Chains A and B, each alone.
Chain A
Amino acid sequence: MAQDFTPTEMMTIAAARALSNDDVCFVGIGAPSAACNVARLTHAPDITLIYESGTIGTKPDVLPLSIGDGELSDTALFTVSVPEMFRYWLQGGRITTGFLGGAQIDRFANLNTTVVGPYDAPKVRLPGGGGAPEISSNCGQIFITMALTNRGFVDHLDFITSMGHGEGGDHRARLGMKTRGPTRVITDLCIFEPDPVTKELTVVSIHRGVTRGQIEENCGWPVRFAKEIVETPIPTATELSVLRDINARTKRAHEAA
């Protein structure tokens, strides 16, 4: 039975569905963290979630505000130091999937979270890359989730914080990367996947009630649509209630003194 849901809820649930029970997933904070935990609480109960603070196999009851909330360590299978996290587990090639968000993305799924404007005299100084540059190159594949807006989906990035498909085509392979890079970008209006050859992001699925015109208006480059496009299945009642419950628990926890 169809229910009312918001575009953000659709985005989080579509992102959650990208994950499977067998994934070992390096989780970014914010939207990726919500999606990964909805996956764990619905169709992927055995998924391994890893946060860069060193918490491995964590099962938070409320979404962490930071990447190192106590909740993550309390519910983890084990917790390692940050050098071990990045050296053995990430660089060691043990992570199947990295789940990232970003401030800005281009048509080849390169991400910018560093600066808007020149690096030496930025108009806006953003937080920076954190773990993203090496998550991007060392995880088996990358999922990205962020709302589709003109400010976020831009024709040209001032700074490439983490490389997706670079200039497109076989750019990753030419730089020696053996991993797949971004394979799916989940937004609040649609889902993109890179073209198999050019690697340009292409709309493959559109959420219910969204028009092509809306997607084009909110994207900073001329949007490519796949030949065959499906409608994203709407959230099930279970998915919605799991997401709303965890968001409500999280809000209560974060607002407590």
Chain B
Amino acid sequence: MAKICTLAEAIGDNVRDGDTLAMEGFTHLIPYAAGHEIIRQGRKDLFLVRMTPDLIYDQLIGVGAARGMKFSWGGNPGVGSLHRFRDAVENQWPRPLEIEEHSHAAMANAYEAGAANLPFAVLRGYIGADLAKVNPNIRSVTCPFTGEVLAAVPAIRPDVSIIHAQRADRQGNVLIEGISGVQKEAVLAATRSIVTVEEIVDELNPPSPNAVVLPRWAISAVVHVPGGAFPSYAHGYYPRSNAFYIAWDKIARDRDSFTAWIRENVLAGKPEDFARHAVRRAANAA
């Protein structure tokens, strides 16, 4: 049952050293504020899972919080490299990073298999692709009906999944709108889950009976963090800060400038700092 609490409490109660952690949001609704809180609480040896590691995992990798990562596309979208990720893989800085690399289709199927409580996912995938040669978790299964050989990957079952959403009601039921990615699957595949939201409201008022709703009894914690997806975005609240994604390239390219940025913006920061992004951006969008 969802506990409505502070971000510090939610991370403290649900994220443990060594956990397999999925923080999802496909470009949209990426839970940045939660990522910063994990860094502030000094979690370590995490095995990170995320289709597109994006800046949020570049930050966790750069501070040395991760022992490994399962992913399918590790770039800064439209900009270039994730420099902290590259530094970890190419130079083992600040520590070696074990990687398990998949395609998007395989990751999406693997989350769905996790949510469905199945041990593995099956897809028509990886045909002629070299990833199958370097990732022992890409195997095959023969269809018992047709004999077709299909790709098989293990289900994703995180210890904890964290997502950001537009709003929750006072009981902790959560509504997601816009690009919904694999957030529903990530939460339902996990043992524990945290949802940060832009707003907590009296009535959820889903815009349609088919809106994506996660009920309070499928979630461990709900936290009110307005602006918590910045520099990603929250559909209906504030747009993506493409300017920040472009600026990140320079910040993260250099170890010292990255470390200084983390010190000033994360270690010396607090969840409430994110609210200014929501307010300012909403005003601009209006």
Interface residues, chain A, with chain B CB atoms under 8 Å away: 29-30, 52-55, 64-70, 72-73, 79, 81-83, 85-87, 90-91, 110, 114, 119-120, 122-134, 136-138, 159-163, 166, 171-172, 175-177, 253-257
Is B86 interfacial (CB 8 A cutoff)? yes
Known: A160-B128, A256-B243. A69 touches B27 (CB 8 A): yes
**The residue from A128, A130, A163 contacting B128, defined by CB atoms under 8 A apart:** A163
| A69 nearest CB neighbor, chain B only | B240
Cα distance A257–B245 in the bound complex, in angstroms: 11
* Complex alpha-carbon distance, A172 and B128, angstroms: 8
Q: Are B51 and A82 in contact (CB under 8 A)?
A: yes
Residue contacts A-B, CB under 8 angstroms, 10 given: A53-B179, A66-B240, A70-B179, A81-B212, A82-B182, A127-B82, A131-B103, A133-B103, A137-B128, A256-B242
Mark B residues whose CB is within 8 Å of A: 26-28, 51-52, 71-75, 77-79, 81-82, 85-86, 89-90, 101, 103-105, 108-109, 111-112, 123-131, 134, 148-149, 178-182, 184-185, 212, 233, 235, 239-243, 245-246, 284
Taken together as a complex, chains A and B put the C-alpha atoms of A159 and B77 apart, in Å, by 21
Across the interface, do B27 and A66 meet the contact criterion of CB distance under 8 Å? Answer: yes
Q: Which A residues lie within 8 Å of B104 (CB)?
A: 52, 82, 86, 129-131, 134
Q: Which residues of B contact A110 (CB under 8 A)?
A: 128
Once the chains are docked, how many angstroms separate the CA of A124 from the CA of B238? 35
Q: How far is the CA of A172 from the CA of B127 in the complex (A)?
A: 9
- CB pair A133–B131 under 8 Å, yes or no, is yes
Most buried by A among B74, B105, B112, B284: B105
Known: A86-B105, A163-B128. 15 other contacts (CB 8 A): A55-B179, A68-B27, A69-B240, A69-B242, A73-B179, A83-B112, A85-B108, A86-B104, A87-B112, A91-B123, A110-B128, A120-B134, A128-B75, A130-B104, A131-B104
Q: Which of B81, B103, B126, B185 has a CB less than 8 Å from the CB of A127?
A: B81
Contact between A66 and B245, CB atoms less than 8 A apart: yes
A87 and B86 CA atoms in complex are apart in Å by 30
A119 to B246 Cα, complex, angstroms: 28
Taking a contact as CB atoms closer than 8 A, the residue among B78, B90, B108, B131 that contacts A161 in the complex is B131
User: With A83-B108, A257-B284 given, is the CB distance from A122 to B90 under 8 Å?
Assistant: yes
A65-B79 in contact (CB<8A): yes
Please indicate the chain A residues that have their CB under 8 angstroms from the CB of B86 in the complex. 124-125
Measured between beta carbons, the chain B residues less than 8 angstroms from A120 are 134
Known: A129-B73, A131-B105, A257-B243. A54 touches B180 (CB 8 A): yes
Question: What is the bound-complex CA distance between A256 and B242, given in angstroms?
Answer: 8
**Nearest chain A CB to B81 CB, angstrom units:** 7
Taken together as a complex, chains A and B put the C-alpha atoms of A86 and B151 apart, in Å, by 14
Would you give the shortest CB distance from B26 to chain A, in whole angstroms?
A: 5
Known contacts A67-B27, A81-B180, A138-B124; A254/B246 CB under 8 A: yes
Does the CB pair B73–A64 fall under 8 Å?
A: no
Interchain CB contact under 8 A, A128 and B101:
yes
Q: Assess the B126–A54 pair: CB atoms within 8 A.
A: no
Known: A68-B179, A73-B235, A122-B89. A163 touches B242 (CB 8 A): no
- A133 & B125 in contact (Cβ 8 Å cutoff): yes
Q: How far is the CA of A55 from the CA of B235 in the complex (A)?
A: 13
**A123–B18 CA distance with the chains assembled, in angstroms:** 29
Q: Are A53 and B28 in contact (CB under 8 A)?
A: yes
Q: Across the interface, which residues of B come within 8 angstroms of A30, CB to CB? A: 78
Known A65-B78, A161-B131; contact A134-B26, beta-carbon cutoff 8 A: no
Give Cα A134 to B27, complex, Å: 20
Q: Is the CB of A67 within 8 A of B77?
A: yes
CB-CB under 8 A from B148, the residues of chain A are: 176
Which residue from B81, B103, B112, B240 sits with its C-beta under 8 Å from A129? B103
Report the Cα distance A137→B82, complex, angstroms. Answer: 27
